[in-house]
Copies of this chain bind each other. A is one copy, B any other.
Amino acid sequence: MTVPHISRADRRRATEARILDSARELFAERGFDRTTIRAVAAVAGVDPALVMQYFRSKRELFTQAVQVSPALPADTDGDALVDQLIATLGLNLGGLPDGMLAMMRSMLTDPAAADHARTTLDRQIGSIGAALPEVEDPELRAALVITTMVGVTIGHQLLGLEALRDAPADRIATLLRPAFKALTEPPH
C-alpha cells in the first residue's frame, strides 16, 4: 500500500502549523520563559533545529504563536455596550484561545509580552472610552471595566480560584452586569 502522497509544499505547511500549535499550547500553559524550544519540538514531533529554521528565534516563534486578532467591541454605546462586554466576558470564561492565554500568562514577566498586552489593552480602553461620551473620565471608567475583565479571567482561567472554577460562566456574567453598569453610568 502506498502512502497517499503529500506534496512538499503541503508537508511544509503542515509541520509549520504543528509547530505553531505546539508552541501556542506550551506558551499558554507555562509562559514564555518556561517554554523550551526543545519541548515545543518534542510535542510537534520534530527536531529542535527545525523550529529555528521555520521561525528564526524563540522570540519570533512566540510572536507568531500569539498572533490573534483580539475581538474589539463594535462601536455601540450605552446599554448595548455593557451587554456586549458581558457577552465577551462570557465567551472568555468559556474558553479563551491559547494565543491569548499565552499573552496573559507571560505579560507579567516578559517585557515584550507586557508591551504587547499594554498596547492591546490601551487600544480597547480607548475604544470603549469613546463609547461612553456622557460621563466623567470615560477612559478611566473603561480602564476599570477592562482590568476587571482581566482580573476575573486570570482568577478563572489562569489561577483556577475555587469559587470561580465551578461557577457557570453565565452566572458570573449575570453578577457582573450591574457592576459594569455602575462603572459606565454617571452618578445618579
Is there a chain B Cβ closer than 8 Å to A34's Cβ? yes
A140 to B164, CA, bound (A): 6
Given that A140-B175, A181-B182 are contacting pairs, would A108 and B151 also be in contact in the complex, using a CB cutoff of 8 Å? Answer: no
Most buried by B among A105, A183, A187: A183
B161, A118: Cβ atoms under 8 Å?
yes
Number of interface residues of A (CB under 8 A): 53
Interface membership of chain A positions 112-148, coded 1 if the CB is closer than 8 angstroms to chain B and 0 otherwise: 0010011001100100010000000101111110111
Interface membership of chain A positions 19-54, coded 1 if the CB is closer than 8 angstroms to chain B and 0 otherwise: 000000000001101100000000000000000000
Most buried by B among A158, A161, A183: A161
A158 to B148, CA, bound (A): 15
Instruction: Write out the residue numbers on chain B whose beta carbons fall within 8 Å of the beta carbon of A159.
Output: 107-108, 114, 117-118, 121
A139 to B144, CA, bound (A): 22
Instruction: Write out the residue numbers on chain B whose beta carbons fall within 8 Å of the beta carbon of A162.
Output: 122, 125, 139, 143
Most buried by B among A118, A148, A180: A148
B182, A109: Cβ atoms under 8 Å?
no
Instruction: Write out the residue numbers on chain B whose beta carbons fall within 8 Å of the beta carbon of A33.
Output: 33-34, 109
**Chain B proximity of A30: nearest CB distance (Å):** 7
Given pairs A144-B176, A181-B182, 9 additional interface contacts (CB within 8 A): A106-B108, A108-B159, A121-B161, A144-B152, A147-B151, A151-B152, A154-B154, A175-B183, A182-B182
Q: Which 4 A-B residue pairings sit nearest by Cβ, starting from the closest? A: A151-B151, A147-B155, A143-B163, A31-B109
